[in-house]
A = this chain, B = another copy of it.
């Protein structure tokens, strides 16, 4: 399993886009639509399954799941690039906010929203 830099992955998707002159279609809204469409395709692979059946489905559809996950990341990187956002900085700064919203001592082992803690 190779590690990667966000910048290298971003360069790859931006080059793929530019070679095809697709930037003209890639408004932030269209890229957000892509995120919804691809996330729902990923979720659709696991529809109606739970427990053991879910585990079996995740195993048997591993490649499709991997491809859909890649598509979601692809759109994340394109949208971040379009908006001149560093995905890594955004993630780490949001994590600081989440740490305050979900303090360890209150959130530990709880599956509720922060306003229900």
Main secondary structure of the interface of A (DSSP, over half): helix
Query: How far apart sit A11 and B65, CA to CA, in the bound complex (Å)?
Result: 22
Taking a contact as CB atoms under 8 Å apart, the answer to whether B66 and A16 are in contact is no
A8 to chain B: closest residue by CB: B88
Q: Mark A24-46, 1 if CB is under 8 A from B, else 0.
A: 11011110111111011111111
Pairwise interchain contact A3-B2, C-beta atoms closer than 8 A: no
Give how many copies assemble into the complex. 4
Partner among B9, B89, B99, B111 whose Cβ is within 8 Å of the Cβ of A25: B111
Question: When A5-B4, A6-B3, A16-B98 are in contact, do A44 and B48 touch as well, CB less than 8 Å?
Answer: no
**CB-defined contacts of A22 to chain B, threshold 8 Å:** 107, 109, 111
Name A's B-contacting residues (CB within 8 A): 1-9, 12-13, 16, 19-22, 24-25, 27-30, 32-37, 39-50, 53-54, 58, 62, 65-67, 69-74, 76-77, 79-80, 83-95, 97-99, 102, 104, 107-112
Pairs across A and B, CB under 8 Å, 12 listed: A5-B6, A13-B91, A19-B104, A24-B109, A29-B46, A48-B112, A65-B83, A66-B90, A69-B83, A69-B90, A73-B91, A76-B76
